[in-house]
Amino acid sequence: MQYEIRGGNFPVVICQLQSGEQMITEKGSMTWMTPNMQMETKGGGVGKMFSKAFSGESMFQNIYTAQGGPGMITFGSSFPGKIVPITLQRGQEWILQKSAFLASESTVNLDIFFNKKFGAGLFGGEGFIMQRLSGQGVAFAEIDGELIEYELKAGQKMVIDTGYVAGFESSVSIDIQQVKGIKNKLLGGEGLFNTVLTGPGRIWLQTMPISGVAGAIQPYIVTA
Give the pLDDT score at 180. 61
Give the pLDDT score at 87. 96
CA dist 55 and 97 (Å) reads: 12
Q: Is the Cβ–Cβ distance between 174 and 115 less than 8 Å?
A: yes
Assigned domain for 224 exists? no
Q: Beta partners for 198?
A: 157, 173
Per-residue DSSP letters for 56-85? T--SEEEEEEE-SS-EEEEEE-SSSEEEEE
Give the pLDDT score at 177. 82
Assigned domain for 18 exists? yes
CA dist 211 and 217 (Å) reads: 10
Give the pLDDT score at 195. 86
Assigned domain for 144 exists? yes
Q: How many domains does one find in the chain?
A: 1
Give pTM, 2 decimals. Answer: 0.83
Tens of pLDDT, residues 153-186: 999 999 998 789 999 999 999 888 876 645 444 4
List, for the chain, all residue ranges whose pLDDT scores fall below the cut of 70.
43-59, 115-128, 179-192, 214-215, 222-224
Give the pLDDT score at 44. 56
Cβ-Cβ contacts under 8 Å for 25 (sequence gap 6 or more): 61, 62, 64, 75, 102, 103, 104
Q: Is the Cβ–Cβ distance between 40 and 61 less than 8 Å?
A: no
Give the pLDDT score at 129. 76
Give the pLDDT score at 19. 97
Distance (Å) of CA 210 to CA 29, 153, 154, 205: 18, 29, 30, 13
Angle among Cα 101, 107, 111 to the nearest 5 degrees reads 45
Q: What is the CATH classification number for the domain harbouring 60?
A: 3.60.160.10
Distance (Å) of CA 214 to CA 100, 157, 219: 17, 28, 9
Assigned domain for 223 exists? no
Give the pLDDT score at 130. 86
Q: Which domain holds residue 202?
A: 2-218
CA dist 107 and 105 (Å) reads: 5
Give the pLDDT score at 188. 45
